[in-house]
């Protein structure tokens, strides 16, 4: 096995035993990036010199026995999350030259724990998309089939882990951007509860839904990462003060006697493919052998998640995108007056989808339509939240497919906006409700494409979500 193929846990053991150094491990990842990134396009920026310098430092620390959980472990970060002094485009040309002077809390937590930064990963511009085709730096290709999408918007992060260019990655999930690409690329990805991890230093899209979450090769690794990432942050007032559980211990508990709900609506959603449904159903049936009780449940408001999402998100989005104006940050176009400068900077700096969201959001928030759209959507959002609260009175967790289908062909949905929006039909409900969702790989289609299963839990119920995910992966 090549060093870059190791899990975090395996690499930790190898580094601590002196079987290899962090420089060896980092070089193995950088070699893989050099070989594969030209085809996959997972990275926008590779920080190779910095990574090697950090790896050397890590080796010194390991020699001295000053070992933190991630000392010497190489990782990648979505380009919409800031690392100090490293270019962060967010996948949009309007920030092509942006170098943040500050670091996201989550990234500094991971780097303080010793992780080695390899670079910044490609993504749909500022999180807008489900296929990575809305990146202004070209689409990310799926490592399992280069003609197919990696998913989005954190596709570069998912592909970089799936293709073993790094040991883990950090992405952002507003409506599914960690879970959906994790599913399409065959890796594990967690959207934490809203408020569990700080969003300070990550580029905002829809502030009442945005979360920062990890991608890794195993649930065990995800659990470890969450221990380091999570917690209250004075710089993000939405973070909660609840103590961060020792997830890596929690996941070892037995799942015997757990009650897991199977919400029928998810299996009847628009576009749900039979093969995906069968693979996920087979895994669900297998849960019985772990001593789990399966319960048929209903979440009647599920079908309103996409309509609610596509009113609430563009509304918040239109205001968040307002700061990208060619003046305060990034690339400024030449303009004959102020209006012309704004118009040209944005026309050149944003892809179609971002412009579409700004227009929808501005319309939905306008005085004449606010009640009809935004307020109505917020009311239905409450009903979706109540749907989940009610169901979690009788079951511990819920299981569903993560995506209605495996990775689709590049170009297949690009010009059909609604079809692209429906790619997130299974992931938007948890986003709207602020609850955690984990995607784990549970099988492959006949043509070899990975299929993911989503595990959802009550708010701040990450421990149980990860516990079930871990028990499934080790029983497979």
Q: Give the separation between CA 382 and CA 320, rounded to whole angstroms.
A: 23
* CB-based closest residue to ligand GLN: 177
- Smallest CA-to-CA distance from 193 within 249, 246, 238 is with 238
No. of H helices and E strands in the chain? Answer: 17, 13
Judged by CB under 6 A, which of 71, 105, 122, 174 binds ligand GLN? 174
Judged by CB under 6 A, which of 62, 149, 167, 205 binds ligand GLN? 205
Count other Cβ atoms within 10 Å, centred on residue 275: 16
| Stretch of 172-180, 364-372, 403-411, 447-455 contacting ligand GLN, by CB under 6 A | 172-180
Q: Supply the minimum distance, in Å, between the C-beta of residue 310 and ligand GLN.
A: 8
Residue at token pair 């917020």 = 378
φ/ψ of residue 111, rounded to 5:
-70, -35
CA atoms within 13 A on the CB side of 231: 17
Asked if residue 193 binds ligand GLN (CB under 6 A), the reply is: no
H/E element holding 118? Answer: strand 116-121
CA atoms within 13 A on the CB side of 271: 18
Q: Supply the minimum distance, in Å, between the C-beta of residue 137 and ligand GLN.
A: 16
Footprint on residues 305-364 left by ligand GLN (CB under 6 A)? 313
Give 33 or 44: the residue with its C-beta nearer to ligand GLN.
44
Do 84 and 96 form a contact (C-beta atoms < 8 A)?
no
Judged by CB under 6 A, which of 176, 261, 263, 436 binds ligand GLN? 176
The angle that helices 105-112 and 219-229 make with each other, rounded to 10 degrees, is 110
Q: Supply the minimum distance, in Å, between the C-beta of residue 460 and ligand GLN.
A: 20
Asked if residue 59 binds ligand GLN (CB under 6 A), the reply is: no
Asked if residue 177 binds ligand GLN (CB under 6 A), the reply is: yes
Give 221 or 317: the residue with its C-beta nearer to ligand GLN.
317
Give 215 or 287: the residue with its C-beta nearer to ligand GLN.
215
Q: Give the separation between CA 116 and CA 133, rounded to whole angstroms.
A: 28
Q: Supply the minimum distance, in Å, between the C-beta of residue 268 and ligand GLN.
A: 21
Active site residues: 78, 153, 177
Q: Supply the minimum distance, in Å, between the C-beta of residue 291 and ligand GLN.
A: 34
Footprint on residues 106-165 left by ligand GLN (CB under 6 A)? 127-130, 152-153
Asked if residue 424 binds ligand GLN (CB under 6 A), the reply is: yes
- Smallest CA-to-CA distance from 408 within 49, 132, 87 is with 132
Give 130 or 225: the residue with its C-beta nearer to ligand GLN.
130
Judged by CB under 6 A, which of 54, 173, 233, 387 binds ligand GLN? 173
Handedness of CA 367, 371, 377, 381 (dihedral sign): positive
Give 129 or 404: the residue with its C-beta nearer to ligand GLN.
129
Q: Give the separation between CA 465 and CA 448, rounded to whole angstroms.
A: 27
Give 11 or 95: the residue with its C-beta nearer to ligand GLN.
95
Give 72 or 204: the residue with its C-beta nearer to ligand GLN.
204
Give 303 or 356: the residue with its C-beta nearer to ligand GLN.
356
Q: Supply the minimum distance, in Å, between the C-beta of residue 309 and ligand GLN.
A: 7
Q: Supply the minimum distance, in Å, between the C-beta of residue 428 and ligand GLN.
A: 8
Do 191 and 179 form a contact (C-beta atoms < 8 A)?
yes
How many residues lie near ligand GLN (CB under 6 A)? 15
Asked if residue 175 binds ligand GLN (CB under 6 A), the reply is: yes
Q: Supply the minimum distance, in Å, between the C-beta of residue 450 and ligand GLN.
A: 18
Q: What per-residue string of b and e applies to 42-81 under the rule 16 or more CB within 10 Å gives b?
A: bbbbbbbebbbebbeebbeebeeeebebbbbbbbbbbbbb
Count other Cβ atoms within 10 Å, centred on residue 399: 24
| Stretch of 175-183, 266-274, 375-383, 442-450 contacting ligand GLN, by CB under 6 A | 175-183
Q: Are strands 43-46 and 397-401 parallel, antiparallel or unpaired?
A: unpaired
Residue at token pair 């048929």 = 296
Q: Give the separation between CA 373 and CA 430, rounded to whole angstroms.
A: 21
Residues forming the site for ligand GLN (CB under 6 A): 127-130, 152-153, 172-177, 205, 313, 424
């Amino acid at each position: 096995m090549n060093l870059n193929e190791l899990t975090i846990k395996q690499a930790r053991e190898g580094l601590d035993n002196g079987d290899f150094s962090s420089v060896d491990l980092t070089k193995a990842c950088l070699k893989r990036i050099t070989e594969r990134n030209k085809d996959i396009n997972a990275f926008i920026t590779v920080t190779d010199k910095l990574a090697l310098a950090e790896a050397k430092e890590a080796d010194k620390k390991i020699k001295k026995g000053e070992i933190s959980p991630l000392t010497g472990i190489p990782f990648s970060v979505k380009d919409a999350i800031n690392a100090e002094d490293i270019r962060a485009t967010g996948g949009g040309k309007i920030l092509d030259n942006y170098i943040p002077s500050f670091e996201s809390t989550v990234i500094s937590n991971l780097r303080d724990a010793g992780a080695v930064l390899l670079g910044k990963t490609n993504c749909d511009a500022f999180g807008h998309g489900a296929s990575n085709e809305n990146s202004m730096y070209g689409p990310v290709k799926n490592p399992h089939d280069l003609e197919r999408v990696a998913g989005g918007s954190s596709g570069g992060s998912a592909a970089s882990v799936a293709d073993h260019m790094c040991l883990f990655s950090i992405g952002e999930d507003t409506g599914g951007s960690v879970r959906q690409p994790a599913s399409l690329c065959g890796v594990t990805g967690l959207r934490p509860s809203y408020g569990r991890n700080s969003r300070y230093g990550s580029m905002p899209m829809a502030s009442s839904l945005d979360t920062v979450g990890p991608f890794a090769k195993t649930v065990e690794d995800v659990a470890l990462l969450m221990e380091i990432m999570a917690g209250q942050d004075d710089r993000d007032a939405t973070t909660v003060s609840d103590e961060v559980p020792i997830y890596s211990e929690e996941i070892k508990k037995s799942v015997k006697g757990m009650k897991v709900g199977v919400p029928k609506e998810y299996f009847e959603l628009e576009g749900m493919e039979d093969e995906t449904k069968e693979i996920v159903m087979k895994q669900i049936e297998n849960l019985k052998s772990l001593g789990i009780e399966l319960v048929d449940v209903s979440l009647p408001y599920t079908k309103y998640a996409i309509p609610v999402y596509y009113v609430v998100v563009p509304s918040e989005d239109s205001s968040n995108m307002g700061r990208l104006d060619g003046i305060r940050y990034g690339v400024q176009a030449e303009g004959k007056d102020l209006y012309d400068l704004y118009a040209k900077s944005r026309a050149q700096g944003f892809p179609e989808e971002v412009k579409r969201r700004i227009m929808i959001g501005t319309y939905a928030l306008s005085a004449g339509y606010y009640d009809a759209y935004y307020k109505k959507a917020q009311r239905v959002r409450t009903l979706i939240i109540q749907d989940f609260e009610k169901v979690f009175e009788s079951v511990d967790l819920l299981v569903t497919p993560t995506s209605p289908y495996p990775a689709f062909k590049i170009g297949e949905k690009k010009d059909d906006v609604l079809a692209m929006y429906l790619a997130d039909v299974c992931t938007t409900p948890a986003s709207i409700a602020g609850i955690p969702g984990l995607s784990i790989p549970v099988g492959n289609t006949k043509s070899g494409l990975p299929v993911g299963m989503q595990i959802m839990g009550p708010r701040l119920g990450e421990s149980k979500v990860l516990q079930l995910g871990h028990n499934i992966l080790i029983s497979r």
